[in-house]
A and B are shown apart, each in its own frame.
Chain A
Amino acid sequence: MTNHWIDIRNADCIMIIGSNAAENHPLSFKWVTRAMERGARLIHVDPRFTRTSSKADIYAPLRSGTDIAFIGGMINYILNDMEQNPENYNMEYIKQYTNAAFVVNAGFTFEDGLFGEVSDGKYTAAAKKTWKYADTETPATDPALKDPDSVFQLLKKHYSRYDVDTVCNITGTPKDIYMDVCRTFCATGQKGKAGTIMYAMGTTQHTYGTQNVRSYAILQLLLGNMGVAGGGINALRGTSNVQGSTDMCLLSHILPGYLAVPQEVDTDLETYLKRACPSTITPQGLTGDKSANWWSNYKKYVVSLLKAWYGDAATGGNDFCFNYLPKCDPSVNYTHIGMFEAMGEDKIRGLWVWGQNPASGGPNSNGEREALGNLDWLVVADIWMNETSEFWQRPGVNSPDIKTEVFVLPAACSYEKEGSISNSGRWVQWRYKAVEPPGESLPDLEIMNLIMLKLKELYQADSSAPQAEAITSLDWNYGVHITADAVAREINGYDLTIGKLAESFGNLKDDGTTSSGNWLYCNMFTEADGNKAKRRNTVDSHPNQIGLYSDWTWCWPLNRRIIYNRASVDLDGVPWDKEHPVILNYNPVTKWQGDVPDGGWPPISQAKEGEKYLPFIMKPEGVARLWGYDRADGPVPEVYEPWESPLDKNLMSGTRNNPCAFIGKYRNEHSSSDRYPYVGTTYRCTEHWQTGIMTRSLPWLVELMPEMYVEMDEELAAEKGIKSGDSVIVSNARGEIKAVAVVTRRFQPLKVGGKDIHHIGILNHWGYSGMAKGDSGNILTPHVGDANTTIPEYKTFLCNVRSAR
């Protein structure tokens, strides 16, 4: 989240899209309700009428996977309305804080759904060059927004195609409801008004999921809703510490603190930095004239990370052990789907799994379960048996045929150990140990420590092993009984010259005199205040009490509760919203009041020439990107159909699918629309969670929600002779599942491209392990992924349904 949970109460309009917050993040609704009590309007956009919709002022149905058309039409509405009624929008924000005025390369082309030449599933380097600014170092701007090559004019041209008839023909949304959404949400474009977007996996789990989020970003920037209280783009996040695990970068492309994973070409630290550290871009002609380009500190963070990992062994003379870091082959996809493709091709010999359950949670379960059988060994650390650890004795297989050796390690649950987790609002909160874990179970932290200590011992004894020093010289001195406290201190980091905890990432150095396991978490654990994740001060100390609760635990970065907050004030430093200012009252002596500012510099108009800092400090050009030229699949979102679509063609262009989507080859049969005419989509219910492994063995929850079910509309059910409560089979080219039918008016057929489209809603919580069992929804989902992230397209695929009788 750019903002945080309590901040939702400050919104004037809330659009929930790609999420069923009321059922899947129930306590978030406390703050949606508070906003509505002050008069805020709630819009819910979703293929299904859920409990979230039931509370909304406007419920807008859309066909699953058509967000880009839906939001694109809203952007078109704004760009047209802005011309007629500029006073209804914050033009100063748009011109000064975004790249609207930037002049783009004159070679840019867009034809028939493509942004230049595509070769082998990728845009060519030549095509990508045309997406950039005409001058990539000191780009020219046209603050009048008239230059035909300006971002603003290119957006106008692109989105002029997204007229309301075209959009509603693609999404299936009734036109009057759609126009109501446009008018209601776009009213937050007024200075001082704030609109927020709450989204979840309904947005991201598509072959163009990243561009779905990009479309929200464009919308929010045109409305001046980023950086302000009650605004932002807020990913609700479905797991208690998926924010923290992302920050710690348990992902193939990043190291802790979002630092790029080295590639084979990065033969030394300097080469790596040259590639990974962005050069500063200084725009010409804006009032702000200085880009902070925060990532220019890259070297400090990388060197401090290497000092945390390799301690005294990391010196300036040996590139701080940079050569020990694994280097990727950029042509290989190492993501979840890529991993299982490689496993299917028998390229991976061993897998360890820590509190995850890919046999049920990954896409195309039948394929991923079979791929596990290619492993020589599998280690599963968990608090329960799950579908992954039991894959070798799953229904329908002969166990003696499966060669994989399986190790199951009993772990401790969240309150049987201590440590911190980070919620979606980036609050890092400490959890304490209440009881002992059962039997011989151990916290994962201790299990990892024991394994690594043993590995260090084995490598000490075998100096002939390849690159043994990467393990023997690893700074791993936690003793036999490791504590979360010791690791939390290491993550924060130290000033090594005095042996004290580092105060903030502003103090980290690139010369090896500081360490920090994750620069973003530096400042959480300080000598003066101790472990700030333990703080429990319930006073909201903000002058206007906008709900920051800045002394309750701690949040990254630097306890800044609303990021990009320098965009919440005008060039003179005056908050757009007088009622809910985020930062305010700048004075050269006392500086800013309110939230921790995104850089403590004076307001742009008060600063000296050459020191007028632009507000979006993480972007090399200092402003937010309406035009996002670094994405794999184009600088601006464009409508494509899902990999499996009920339509024969894209109603917007001749390019049917995202040309850069990742398409798996391993056991990934494609379902055709003639045999499988209905749109399948997966989701959760309140009582269960993820693959159900944390809920299907809790009797209270099983009593509330005992069985796997699928939902469908009344017309489809009547056509198929299915009644509520019937046992049905949902199938497609990849497999079939049995479930209880729920026939409901919550789904309605949608009129798309002249025909009726039916959805089948499928829960994703079930499997063959635990107390309550059932078929996994992911048996039906495809092994295809987003062009930028390879997140699977769980939310839209094709299927058919029949009675099981």
Chain B
Amino acid sequence: MELNRRDFLKLSGTGLSAAVAFAFLPDGTVMAAPREFPLKTKVKETTTICCYCGVGCGAIVAAYGDGIIKIEGDPDHPINEGALCSKGLAMSQIHQVNGKPNQYRLTKPLYRAPNATEWEEKSWGWMIETIARRVKATRDKYWTGRASRTDAIASLGGGELDNEECYLLSKMNRALGVVYLEHCARI
């Protein structure tokens, strides 16, 4: 029986072999003990699908206790069979770089007032309230009653969202009467 690295991790993760010098597999194979490389950190593994092109390759995200993550190809996935391209392999850097959060990520809601030259940090509560008021004012002012629509609000985006988000975005925009509803599939 061949034991790949994932099976090895599974075994050690469940503690079956971590404490002994040798692990005996069901078919009698003796495996070198992982004692020299004990896994001291609790690892949470979740599966994901790559966020780049449309092939839909599977990957495994290993999240360690201190927030460090590693991402590798999912060997069980029938399409990519454990392989990833350069972009897929770099997916972990969206979250963190060299063990620290990627400094280019947005972490707070930001607001730029008309004609201003700087961003201002704002609370989520203020942002949601202000955006909703802008949407309502625009919709109500530019309303074509006979056609139940507003031509003054437009929406873009969706190809990078999850299906559930796309669906909700469609429901929300159509309820508001938005007809300029588009995303990257068009371009």
Whether A351 is near chain B, meaning CB under 8 Å from some CB there, is yes
Q: Are B159 and A356 in contact (CB under 8 A)?
A: yes
B51 contact set on A, CB distance < 8 A: 240, 413-415, 694
Whether B133 is near chain A, meaning CB under 8 Å from some CB there, is yes
A413 to B61, CA, bound (A): 13
B181 contact set on A, CB distance < 8 A: 250-252, 334
Q: Are A326 and B149 in contact (CB under 8 A)?
A: yes
Query: Given A356-B159, A419-B162, A434-B46, A518–B167 Cβ distance below 8 Å?
Result: yes
Whether A771 is near chain B, meaning CB under 8 Å from some CB there, is yes
| B182 CB contact (under 8 Å) in A24, A244, A250, A425 | A250
Query: Given A355-B161, A536-B76, A458–B136 Cβ distance below 8 Å?
Result: yes
Q: Are B53 and A247 in contact (CB under 8 A)?
A: no
Enumerate B139-187 residues with CB–CB distance to A below 8 Å.
139-140, 142-143, 145-172, 174-187
Enumerate B66-110 residues with CB–CB distance to A below 8 Å.
67, 69, 71, 76, 78-81, 83-91, 93-95, 97, 101-102, 104-110
Whether A421 is near chain B, meaning CB under 8 Å from some CB there, is yes
| A439 CB contact (under 8 Å) in B104, B107, B162 | B107
Q: Are B54 and A424 in contact (CB under 8 A)?
A: yes
A325 contact set on B, CB distance < 8 A: 148, 174
Query: Which of B84, B87, B149, B159 is the most central at the interface, judged by chain A CB atoms within 10 Å of its CB?
Result: B159
Q: Are B159 and A241 in contact (CB under 8 A)?
A: yes
Q: Are A416 and B161 in contact (CB under 8 A)?
A: no
Q: Are B167 and A487 in contact (CB under 8 A)?
A: yes
| A695 CB contact (under 8 Å) in B90, B131, B166 | B90
Whether B116 is near chain A, meaning CB under 8 Å from some CB there, is yes
Task: Give B125 Cβ to nearest chain A Cβ, in Å.
Answer: 9
A665 contact set on B, CB distance < 8 A: none
| A350 CB contact (under 8 Å) in B71, B145, B152 | B152
Whether B22 is near chain A, meaning CB under 8 Å from some CB there, is no
A409 contact set on B, CB distance < 8 A: 109, 127
Query: Given A238-B53, A400-B115, A517-B167, A347–B151 Cβ distance below 8 Å?
Result: yes
A246 contact set on B, CB distance < 8 A: 185
A408 contact set on B, CB distance < 8 A: 106, 109-112, 119
Task: Give B146 Cβ to nearest chain A Cβ, in Å.
Answer: 7
B129 contact set on A, CB distance < 8 A: 454
Q: Which residue of A lies closest to B115 (CB)?
A: A400
Task: In the complex, identify which listed stretch (A358-366, A616-624, A640-648, A733-741) lies at the interface while the others stay far away.
Answer: A358-366
A476 to B128, CA, bound (A): 17
Q: Are B171 and A356 in contact (CB under 8 A)?
A: no
Task: In the complex, identify which listed stretch (A131-139, A182-190, A374-382) lies at the interface while the others stay far away.
Answer: A374-382
Query: Given A240-B51, A334-B180, A549-B78, A348–B56 Cβ distance below 8 Å?
Result: no
A338 contact set on B, CB distance < 8 A: 180
Query: Given A325-B148, A484-B164, A30–B80 Cβ distance below 8 Å?
Result: yes
Whether A591 is near chain B, meaning CB under 8 Å from some CB there, is no
Whether A727 is near chain B, meaning CB under 8 Å from some CB there, is no
A687 to B89, CA, bound (A): 10
Whether B42 is near chain A, meaning CB under 8 Å from some CB there, is no
Task: In the complex, identify which listed stretch (A78-86, A279-287, A464-472) lies at the interface while the others stay far away.
Answer: A464-472
Q: What bracket does the count of chain A residues touching chain B fall in?
A: 35 or more
| B156 CB contact (under 8 Å) in A25, A30, A351, A425 | A351
Q: Are A248 and B158 in contact (CB under 8 A)?
A: yes
Enumerate A502-557 residues with CB–CB distance to B below 8 Å.
517-518, 521, 536, 538, 540, 547, 549, 552
1/0 contact trace for A405-444 toward B, CB 8 Å?
1111111011111111111110111011111001111111
Task: Give A17 Cβ to nearest chain B Cβ, in Å.
Answer: 17
Q: Are A699 and B97 in contact (CB under 8 A)?
A: yes
Task: Give A644 Cβ to nearest chain B Cβ, in Å.
Answer: 18
| B133 CB contact (under 8 Å) in A250, A458, A536 | A458
A325 to B176, CA, bound (A): 9
Whether A392 is near chain B, meaning CB under 8 Å from some CB there, is yes
Q: Are A435 and B67 in contact (CB under 8 A)?
A: yes
Whether B23 is near chain A, meaning CB under 8 Å from some CB there, is no
Q: Are B152 and A448 in contact (CB under 8 A)?
A: no
Whether A449 is near chain B, meaning CB under 8 Å from some CB there, is yes
Query: Which of B107, B163, B178 is the most central at the interface, judged by chain A CB atoms within 10 Å of its CB?
Result: B163
| B48 CB contact (under 8 Å) in A415, A474, A547 | A415
B160 contact set on A, CB distance < 8 A: 239-241, 355-356, 694
Q: Are B180 and A342 in contact (CB under 8 A)?
A: yes
B110 contact set on A, CB distance < 8 A: 407-408
Whether A587 is near chain B, meaning CB under 8 Å from some CB there, is no
B33 contact set on A, CB distance < 8 A: none
Task: Give B119 Cβ to nearest chain A Cβ, in Å.
Answer: 7
Whether B9 is near chain A, meaning CB under 8 Å from some CB there, is no
Query: Given A245-B158, A385-B106, A25–B55 Cβ distance below 8 Å?
Result: yes
Query: Given A355-B161, A399-B117, A405-B112, A458–B132 Cβ distance below 8 Å?
Result: yes
A248 contact set on B, CB distance < 8 A: 158, 163, 166-167, 169-170
Query: Given A27-B83, A252-B182, A466-B143, A407–B127 Cβ distance below 8 Å?
Result: yes
| A251 CB contact (under 8 Å) in B135, B145, B185 | B185
Query: Given A438-B107, A448-B165, A432–B157 Cβ distance below 8 Å?
Result: no
A470 to B44, CA, bound (A): 44
Q: Are A425 and B56 in contact (CB under 8 A)?
A: yes
State the majority secondary structure of interface residues on B: mixed
Q: Are A353 and B135 in contact (CB under 8 A)?
A: no
A465 to B140, CA, bound (A): 6
B30 contact set on A, CB distance < 8 A: none
Whether B52 is near chain A, meaning CB under 8 Å from some CB there, is yes
Q: Which residue of A lies closest to B58 (CB)?
A: A429
Q: Are B109 and A440 in contact (CB under 8 A)?
A: yes
Q: Are A237 and B143 in contact (CB under 8 A)?
A: no
Query: Which of B80, B111, B124, B160 is the most central at the interface, judged by chain A CB atoms within 10 Å of its CB?
Result: B160
Q: Which residue of A lies closest to B62 (CB)?
A: A434
| A309 CB contact (under 8 Å) in B94, B130, B171 | B171
Task: Give A157 Cβ to nearest chain B Cβ, in Å.
Answer: 35
| B138 CB contact (under 8 Å) in A335, A349, A361, A699 | A349
| B55 CB contact (under 8 Å) in A5, A405, A428, A451 | A5
A413 contact set on B, CB distance < 8 A: 51, 94-95
Q: Are B164 and A420 in contact (CB under 8 A)?
A: yes
A409 to B89, CA, bound (A): 27
Whether A108 is near chain B, meaning CB under 8 Å from some CB there, is no
B47 contact set on A, CB distance < 8 A: 431-432, 536
A246 to B182, CA, bound (A): 10
Task: Give B159 Cβ to nearest chain A Cβ, in Å.
Answer: 4
Q: Are A445 and B165 in contact (CB under 8 A)?
A: yes
Query: Given A25-B55, A335-B186, A421-B163, A470–B148 Cβ distance below 8 Å?
Result: yes
A125 contact set on B, CB distance < 8 A: none
Q: Are A348 and B153 in contact (CB under 8 A)?
A: yes
Task: Give A407 Cβ to nearest chain B Cβ, in Å.
Answer: 6
A518 to B64, CA, bound (A): 38
Whether A789 is near chain B, meaning CB under 8 Å from some CB there, is yes
Q: Are A245 and B183 in contact (CB under 8 A)?
A: yes
| B56 CB contact (under 8 Å) in A429, A434, A467 | A429
1/0 contact trace for A468-492 toward B, CB 8 Å?
0011001010000000100110110
Task: Give A766 Cβ to nearest chain B Cβ, in Å.
Answer: 15
A406 to B97, CA, bound (A): 28
Enumerate B2-55 residues with CB–CB distance to A below 8 Å.
44, 46-55
Q: Are A410 and B107 in contact (CB under 8 A)?
A: yes
Whether A601 is near chain B, meaning CB under 8 Å from some CB there, is no
Q: Can you name 11 A-B pairs with beta carbons within 8 Å?
A: A239-B160, A248-B166, A326-B179, A352-B153, A404-B114, A415-B71, A445-B162, A455-B176, A458-B136, A470-B176, A704-B86
List of 10 A-B pairs having minimum Cβ-Cβ separation, nearest first = A439-B107, A423-B56, A419-B162, A354-B157, A237-B54, A245-B158, A326-B149, A410-B106, A248-B166, A239-B159
For the A-B complex with A250-B157, A355-B158, A689-B53 known, give 15 more contacts whose Cβ atoms are closer than 8 Å. A250-B155, A251-B186, A308-B171, A326-B150, A356-B183, A403-B114, A404-B114, A407-B111, A409-B127, A431-B49, A439-B108, A450-B128, A487-B168, A689-B87, A700-B90
